[in-house]
């Protein structure tokens, strides 16, 4: 279709909204079918397809360790849960009383409801966590989301995460900071800029300061795989 439209200078782009804050994601039906064909779970399929095998499990383990999270977690909130590969692992590890999700893609929302009927799907406007009360959640997290969204949208969400986390709670997310860039990553990006131009960079020191002004302290960080690079998982605790 795009080949036909090209002479007119028009291109069709997959998406659910004209709001640039709402990023597109892989179509659920095709992705689930591809995972079934490969004989693996959707999460394992995405790990292998977009990063490296075991990366989701490794990220969740690092987040729980750095955030010192154990079974005493009551409420969790996740932004951009998509395939649910982080959601299912966090639910299994922490058994929270409630798990809220803000996800803009309706096909993945349907899938999340199917795999975990107890999930609380919040109305997602692509910018804020309006349906979540201030200081109400023990863990608010997002993975492979702020890597793609316009920076202003990401830090709007960071302010929201700081608002909804309860005293003693944890805020965790991964971003591409300047520390993620090394010669290997930049060479890969320069070799194929059309793949790399989907990524957004986040200034690390600025984020640490931004959240410090909202009562959050960096508890630790760890590099985690991203296709064609790596992201930095940053884990904050309320002071």
Minimal distance in Å, beta carbon 145 to ligand SAM? 5
Neighbouring C-beta atoms of residue 212, cutoff 10 Å: 14
Q: Which two tokens stand for residue 137?
A: 């959640």
Q: Is 104 in the site for ligand SAM (CB under 6 A)?
A: yes
Question: Judged by CB under 6 A, does residue 103 bind ligand SAM?
Answer: yes
Residue 196 and residue 222 in contact, taking contact as beta carbons nearer than 8 Å: no
Q: Which stretch binds ligand SAM (CB under 6 A): 30-38, 148-156, 170-178, 227-235?
A: 148-156
Measured in degrees and rounded to the nearest 5, phi and psi for residue 8 equal: -85, 0
Annotate each residue in 32-71 with x if it binds ligand SAM (CB under 6 A) or - if it does not, as one string: --------------x-------------------------
- Contact pick of 23, 96, 225, 229 for ligand SAM (by CB under 6 A): 23
Region 155-214 residues binding ligand SAM, contact defined as CB under 6 A = none
Return the beta strands (E) in the chain as ranges: 75-79, 98-102, 120-122, 137-142, 165-175, 216-226, 229-238
Paired strand residues for 142: 79, 173
Task: Check binding of 100 to ligand SAM (CB under 6 A).
Answer: no
Asked if 226 is part of the footprint of ligand SAM (rule: CB under 6 A), the reply reads no
Return the closest-CA partner of residue 238 out of 202, 205, 213, 206.
Answer: 213
* Chain residues that interact with ligand SAM, rule: CB under 6 A: 21-23, 25, 46, 79-83, 85-86, 102-105, 108, 124, 126, 143-145, 148-149, 153
């Amino acid at each position: 279709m795009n080949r036909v439209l090209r002479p007119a200078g028009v291109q069709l782009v997959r998406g659910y909204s004209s709001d640039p804050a709402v990023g597109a994601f892989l179509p659920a039906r095709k992705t689930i079918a591809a995972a079934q064909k490969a004989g693996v779970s959707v999460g394992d399929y995405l790990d292998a397809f977009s990063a490296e095998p075991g990366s989701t499990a490794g990220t969740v383990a690092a987040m729980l360790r750095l955030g010192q999270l154990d079974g005493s977690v009551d409420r969790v909130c996740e932004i951009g849960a998509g395939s649910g590969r982080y959601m299912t692992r966090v639910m299994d590890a922490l058994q929270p009383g409630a798990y809220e999700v803000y996800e803009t893609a309706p096909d993945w929302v349907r899938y999340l409801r199917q795999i975990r009927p107890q999930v609380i799907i919040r109305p997602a406007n692509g910018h804020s966590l309006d349906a979540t009360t201030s200081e109400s959640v023990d863990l608010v997290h997002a993975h492979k989301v702020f890597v793609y969204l316009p920076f202003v949208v990401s830090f709007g969400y960071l302010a929201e995460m700081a608002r909804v986390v309860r005293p003693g709670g944890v805020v965790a997310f991964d971003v591409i900071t300047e520390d993620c860039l090394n010669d290997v990553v930049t060479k890969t990006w320069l070799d194929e800029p059309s793949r790399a131009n989907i990524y957004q960079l986040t200034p690390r020191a600025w984020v640490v300061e931004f959240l410090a002004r909202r009562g959050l302290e960096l508890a630790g960080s760890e590099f985690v795989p991203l296709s064609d690079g790596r992201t930095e998982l940053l884990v904050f605790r309320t002071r």
